[in-house]
Amino acid sequence: MSQALRLSMNRMALVPGVVAVVCALPLATASPYLLFVLLAPAAWITYVLRSGVDDDDDEGLIVRALFGSVRISWGRITGVLIGQRQELSVATVGGGAIRLPNLRARDLPRLYEATGGRLGLSADQVL
């Protein structure tokens, strides 16, 4: 089994979270009751590091969000849907759809390359 590929948010998105922690630290250390101020930057940093889509070669896709993850086998995937705001979702056999966090229509070539063409799209349709 080869190593899974990961499609996630650019790590530059960590910069606002780190800046928010640095700015909120003096306020949070002023009183123990103000420690909750650090929760919002911590949640953002966790979201950036955790959310994304993993391509597990033999199994399928693993969709990770801030809380929880979903494993979708290749047999359950019927196609890719593009929403009104250009967000990507994976259509499943039962007629449902699972949103792919942090992926937009412009990321279709990366998704096609990462999945090795298993999503039923040709290279001409993607590029």
Q: Indicate the CATH number of 74-127 among 3.30.9, 2.170.130, 2.40.50, 1.10.3470.
A: 2.40.50
Residue 19 burial (10 A CB sphere; 0-12, 13-18, 19+): exposed
Q: What is the DSSP letter of 36?
A: G
Mean pLDDT computed over 7-35: 92
pLDDT at residue 25 above 80? yes
- Domain ranges in the chain are 7-50, 74-127
pLDDT at residue 1 above 50? no
**Concatenated DSSP letters of 72-127:** EEGGGEEEEEE-TTSEEEEEETTS-EEEEEEEEGGGHHHHHHHHTTTTS--HHHH-
Distance between CA atoms of residues 15 and 13, nearest Å: 5
pTM across the whole model: 0.77
What's at 25, amino acid-wise?
L
Cβ–Cβ < 8 Å for 92, 99: no
